[in-house]
Amino acid sequence: MSTVYLPLTDVSSGENLTETMVSEGLVSVRRESIRGESRLVELEEAARSQGKCPMNKLDSEGKVDKGNSEPFADEARFFTESRLLQRDLQVILETFNNNNFVGSIVHKKGNIAEALLREGFARCVDWSIATVTGGPEKLRTAEKVAKEKQLRLWQDYKPSSLSVRTDACLEEGTLAEKDKEFTGKVVEVVNGDALVVKRQDGTNKKIFLSSIRPPRQGEVDAPRLPGKNFRPLYDIPWLFEAREFLRKKLIGQKVQCSVDYIQPAQNNFPEKTCCTVRIGDVNVAEAMVSKGYATVIRYRQDDDQRASCYDDLLSAEAKASKSSKGLHNKKETPIHRVADLSSDVNKAKGFLPFLQRAGRTEAVVEFVASGSRVRLFIPRETCLITFLLAGISCPRPTRPAPGGVGGTITGEPYGEEAHAFTKNLVMQREVEIEVDSMDKGGNFIGWLHVEGKNLSVLLVEEGLSTVHFTAELSKFYQQLTSAQESAKSKNLNYWSTYVEEEKDEKPEDQVGERKVDLKPLVITAVTREGTLYGQYCSDGPALEQLMDKLRSEFASKPPLGGAYTPKKGDLCAAQFVDSQWYRAKVERVSGQNVTVRYVDYGNREVTQGIKCASLPAGFSSQPFYAHELRLALVKFSKDEDYVEDALAALMTEVENREVLANREYRANGADYVSLQRADNKADVAEVLLGQGLLLIDERKDKRFLSMLTTYRAAQESARRKHLNVWQYGDVTEDDAHEFGMER
């Protein structure tokens, strides 16, 4: 056996006659005699996929092999010969393939290719149709006519394109007419080929761009540095550029979506809705392909599930390839070296001074974990950070259980609403941040501005967060308190059950000496915001009598499970983990989960609706026995870590223990008290100041001069010993401006 080259004298540059005949479909490959990979097999597969006109193949003697001819080969040949042989024709050369010219032959009555397609003698070829003079529309239309009539090559054809139903009864593979075309706002870009679109009815829908493939990892992974995690967005060449192209063009913009096909679920991948997406007159997929940020998917000839503008995509890809753009540029591959500070506390500490001195820094929101916790990419520093909003206490949404053990942790009231609000406002948008400090986990704390507005203020304004005491010395404190008062007056979300209480006392309104009226008190609950709930011992008999009556009532008349439907703001009875019933106020209802606050004890709990019941008559008029209190003349540090330590120490000092309370003044809708332990008469605030866990909250009121003098002495002692908040020096004076400790 031998190989013949033309010309015979030049093997290195000559044409391999065997390969040429296989590529033209004139002969077939005997695969049983080939071991391993072979170029002949590749050429034969390419010839089959091109879908040319049916052809008569030759036998070993070079004659037509009638037994191996393709269906309708003789008819197609006769059709062409009868119209073109010995006729004057116009030949348009458009490209070449395997040393053969490829073009169009135009008879005086039209293009012969169009006639062959219309009669079902030929199929369209994707690789060359984009080069047809005048565009491929006429050829596609002619092929479509033959398909619909099931002529010749298409006699067994079954449409696979998406069908639309207008009635309410939808079958598998069909789509309601209203869902075939829709408009919406792009809220998220997923990788380089998928979008999340918010439709006009408020629902979000994930769609994929039809017939394109985004950049993906090569067959052989590039060597990675030891310990480095694989991050597709930054490690796959051109994927970051593709995502950024879509993000900058589409986020927050209105687009028109037309569903081309629905790809069924397969290989553990969910069902995909594939669409042609346009912004104005621009086809997004075509723009992506023309920039070299995506490639066009090749289909079988009988596969109609493709983009409606498939030929335009092929043409755009050909131009991008010719210009060596993006993925087609094999010489200049972009490399992104991005430092992930969220997983390295030491690196985060090193970056902290740079971010603090930089003032407002531009960033892109990559992920929203909760209403006040986001993941940011900072282009100037090429780093990823976890960022926490300063100055607010924001409820957390439902989240996965830690440790990867499965399951979820139930969210707090309005946590889901806060998460949705933040995500809708900042997801994948360009924002500005001001970094104040950092917690022990390497998370940066500061202020985030979107379109010139402070996100912390916006959350408080919507009643989705409350002002945290750490915001008191910040430059945004006035804005935050004004926003909170506005939310209270409108009873928004968190403040939906808020009732305006007596006005705060102003220092200038106070005259005379400080009044001391110590009352025994039992602290029953301490919140993570530093709010105390306590029961005055003088109310003990009345509370016991109330509870005895309530339990007796439920013992004689047990509630019927499910008979009561809890509503937000209701005063009801709730069954605690000890199986006893207590008075409770409904703060939130989410499906079967009900968040309640036990009004006589102050603690909160997420329970089930079936464990709630209507409060019997006569139990609603009695006052709540849990009083909301705060420590007077002191405040917490702005550093969240020290806040946690201070709260732990405060709970150790007072929780479930009798103390002596003296009401000092009223501010921010709460009573501010001084507390003494009943056993040793120690002032709780003074003890915590001496441990460096609290700071003095100066108040211009002559009544408190003696208390403030004692408190200052305790704080000075902690400062000299560098305890807790003072371990790095004075956080209230010189460090404030240079290091952003107090703003």
Q: Is the model's pLDDT at 408 over the cut of 90?
A: no
CA angle 396/614/577 to nearest 5° reads 55
β partners of residue 106: 90, 111
Each residue's pLDDT tens digit, 264-275: 888 778 888 999
The whole-number average pLDDT for the span 721-738 is: 68
- Tell me the three state secondary structure of residue 393: strand
Identity of the amino acid at 475: K
Mean pLDDT lowest among 152-161, 251-260, 655-664, 665-674: 152-161
Residue 641: predicted pLDDT: 80
Residue 149: predicted pLDDT: 83
In whole angstroms, give the CA distance from residue 422 to residue 427. Answer: 8
Residue 33: predicted pLDDT: 62
Residue 55: predicted pLDDT: 65
**482-486 contacts at long range (C-beta below 8 A, 24 or more positions apart):** 483/457, 483/458, 484/460, 486/461
Residue 318: predicted pLDDT: 87
Residue 499: predicted pLDDT: 66
Token output for 444:
């940066």
Helix (H) or strand (E) holding 390: none
In whole angstroms, give the CA distance from residue 742 to residue 732. Answer: 7
Token output for 637:
């540090």
CATH architecture of 339-397+415-495: Beta Barrel (2.40)
Separation in Å, CA 457 to CA 294, 422, 480, 497: 41, 12, 5, 21
Q: Is 168 exposed, middle or buried (0-12, 13-18, 19+ CB in 10 A)?
A: exposed
The whole-number average pLDDT for the span 536-552 is: 91
Q: What share of the chain is helix, strand, coil (3-state, %, to 5)?
A: 30, 25, 40
Q: Are 459 and 495 in contact (CB under 8 A)?
A: no
The whole-number average pLDDT for the span 477-498 is: 88
Identity of the amino acid at 75: E
Token output for 162:
């998406």
Of residues 198 and 401, the one with the higher pLDDT is 198
Residue 594: predicted pLDDT: 92
Residue 483: predicted pLDDT: 92
DSSP state, 464?
A: S
What confidence category does residue 496 fall into, taking pLDDT thresholds of 50, 70 and 90?
confident
Of residues 276 and 123, the one with the higher pLDDT is 276
Residue 224: predicted pLDDT: 53
Token output for 742:
């107090």
146: number of Cβ within 10 Å: 22
The domains of the chain are located at 1-55, 73-154, 177-216+234-318, 339-397+415-495
In whole angstroms, give the CA distance from residue 451 to residue 125. Answer: 50
Q: Are 423 and 450 in contact (CB under 8 A)?
A: no
Of residues 724 and 43, the one with the higher pLDDT is 724
Question: Which residues are CB-contacts of 505 (< 8 A; sequence separation ≥ 6)?
Answer: 665, 666, 667
Mean pLDDT lowest among 99-103, 285-289, 385-389: 99-103
Q: Is 203 exposed, middle or buried (0-12, 13-18, 19+ CB in 10 A)?
A: exposed
Of residues 402 and 250, the one with the higher pLDDT is 250
Mean pLDDT lowest among 90-99, 125-134, 417-426, 474-483: 125-134
Each residue's pLDDT tens digit, 594-610: 999 999 999 999 999 89
CATH code of the region 73-154: 2.40.50.90
Residue 271: predicted pLDDT: 87
Do 73-154 and 339-397+415-495 have matching folds?
Answer: yes
Of residues 502 and 569, the one with the higher pLDDT is 569
DSSP state, 278?
A: E
Residue 221: predicted pLDDT: 46
Of residues 734 and 359, the one with the higher pLDDT is 359
Residue 584: predicted pLDDT: 94
> Closest by alpha carbon to 183, among 93, 287, 98, 255?
255
What confidence category does residue 42 fall into, taking pLDDT thresholds of 50, 70 and 90?
low
Can you say whether residue 656 is alpha, beta or left, with left for phi > 0 and alpha for psi between -120 and 50 degrees? left
Give me the percent of the chain exceeding a pLDDT of 70: 83
Identity of the amino acid at 630: R
- Tell me the three state secondary structure of residue 636: coil
In whole angstroms, give the CA distance from residue 101 to residue 28. Answer: 22
Concatenated DSSP letters for 444-457? EEEEEEETTEEHHH
What confidence category does residue 618 fall into, taking pLDDT thresholds of 50, 70 and 90?
confident
The whole-number average pLDDT for the span 40-51 is: 54
Buried b (16+ CB within 10 A) or exposed e, 181-197: ebebbbbbbebbbbbbb
What confidence category does residue 32 fall into, taking pLDDT thresholds of 50, 70 and 90?
low
Mean pLDDT lowest among 6-15, 109-118, 335-344: 6-15
Hunting for tokens 């010309």 — which residue is that? 7
Mean pLDDT lowest among 67-71, 137-141, 244-248: 67-71
The whole-number average pLDDT for the span 637-662 is: 85
Residue 47: predicted pLDDT: 52
Residue 444: predicted pLDDT: 93
Hunting for tokens 């994929």 — which residue is that? 208
Question: Which residues are CB-contacts of 148 (< 8 A; sequence separation ≥ 6)?
Answer: none
Of residues 675 and 129, the one with the higher pLDDT is 675
Residue 111: predicted pLDDT: 86
Give me the percent of the chain exceeding a pLDDT of 90: 30
What confidence category does residue 4 fall into, taking pLDDT thresholds of 50, 70 and 90?
low
* Predicted model pTM: 0.57
Q: Are 553 and 614 in contact (CB under 8 A)?
A: no
Separation in Å, CA 406 to CA 367, 400, 416, 593, 607: 21, 7, 20, 20, 21
Residue 489: predicted pLDDT: 87
Helix (H) or strand (E) holding 105: strand 100-107
- Tell me the three state secondary structure of residue 237: coil
Q: Is the model's pLDDT at 49 over the cut of 50?
A: no
- CA 406 vs. chain centroid, Å, equals 20
Residue 158: predicted pLDDT: 76
Residue 428: predicted pLDDT: 92
Please provide the average confidence, as pLDDT, over all residues in the chain: 82
Residue 44: predicted pLDDT: 62
Hunting for tokens 């056993």 — which residue is that? 679
What confidence category does residue 462 fall into, taking pLDDT thresholds of 50, 70 and 90?
very high
Token output for 124:
């369209």
CATH architecture of 177-216+234-318: Beta Barrel (2.40)
Residue 46: predicted pLDDT: 52
Hunting for tokens 């709010």 — which residue is that? 531
Separation in Å, CA 28 to CA 17, 25, 60, 68: 13, 7, 11, 10
Of residues 10 and 685, the one with the higher pLDDT is 685
The whole-number average pLDDT for the span 35-60 is: 58
The whole-number average pLDDT for the span 476-485 is: 91
Residue 72: predicted pLDDT: 82
Concatenated DSSP letters for 530-561? S-EEEEEGGGHHHHHHHHHHHHHHHHHSPPPT
**Largest Cα span, the chain:** 124
In whole angstroms, give the CA distance from residue 284 to residue 193. Answer: 10
The whole-number average pLDDT for the span 231-243 is: 88
Can you say whether residue 528 is alpha, beta or left, with left for phi > 0 and alpha for psi between -120 and 50 degrees? alpha
The whole-number average pLDDT for the span 128-143 is: 78
Q: Is the model's pLDDT at 13 over the cut of 60?
A: no
Residue 170: predicted pLDDT: 46
Residue 734: predicted pLDDT: 45
β partners of residue 223: none
In whole angstroms, give the CA distance from residue 641 to residue 440. Answer: 7
